[in-house]
Chains A and B, each alone.
Chain A
Amino acid sequence: QSALTQPASVSGAPGQSITISCTGTSSDVGGYNHVSWYQQHPGKAPKLMIYEVNNRPSGISNRFSGSKSANTASLSISGLQADDEADYYCVSYSGRTGRTLDYVFGTGTKVTVL
């Protein structure tokens, strides 16, 4: 079960916008609208930022948005802030093992605020 592919690193200056991609297959990202994104600061548990491709949980800034096209999901961060510097992971429901619950994570992306 291969991990979803994310760029190892993405960087941007404060105030700028960045986008992180998450590429899978038609058995996961492309086949379902069940992609979530997590933010993880060093030494901390991950935090849910986006679920079901483009939904923000309560309390998450609208600077974070999600989208999907074919087998690639994306997380966009606008108005980049110092606290956005963290690791980001995508996860997708995967149907490759049949009609059962199965998830595959992305490889992770380190976001650096210059």
Chain B
Amino acid sequence: QVQLQESGPGLVKPSETLSLTCDVSDYSISSGYYWGWIRQPPGKGLEWIATIYGDGRSYYNPSLRSRVAISVDTSKNQFSLRLNSVTAADTAVYYCTRQYSGYDPAGYWGPGTLVAVSS
């Protein structure tokens, strides 16, 4: 079964760029499926951020599109998220995910990583 693990700074300053990486094991990203990022502010609900296919086709939440970039590195079997011009509203647990089947965006989840935006 595929395993996902997020990594990146736990603290980012306002106006700077949040960068996270998801390491994938027990499955090759280049073999298929959609890979993505979902976040959850403390005490709040889930928000889809972005999704990418192994060939690089990417899709973004319209409300975040201007600040977000998702990319994939098949040689390292990992994919990444960059969110620029962050504010306190971007403080959240960030999860990396893999599609299960069909149009489900997140059948498999990493444990999540908390990113706080604060000076």
Contacts and interface: CB of A to CB of B under 8 A. Distances in A.
Contacts of B63: 1
B100 A89 contact: no
A47 B111 CA distance: 11
Interface string B107-119: 1111110000000
Place the interface of chain B in its size category: 20 to 34
B102 A3 contact: no
Interface residues of A, number: 27
B51 A101 contact: yes
B48 A34 contact: no
Contacts of A34: 102-104
A66 to B, nearest CB: 12
Interface string B52-63: 000000010111
A103 B101 contact: no
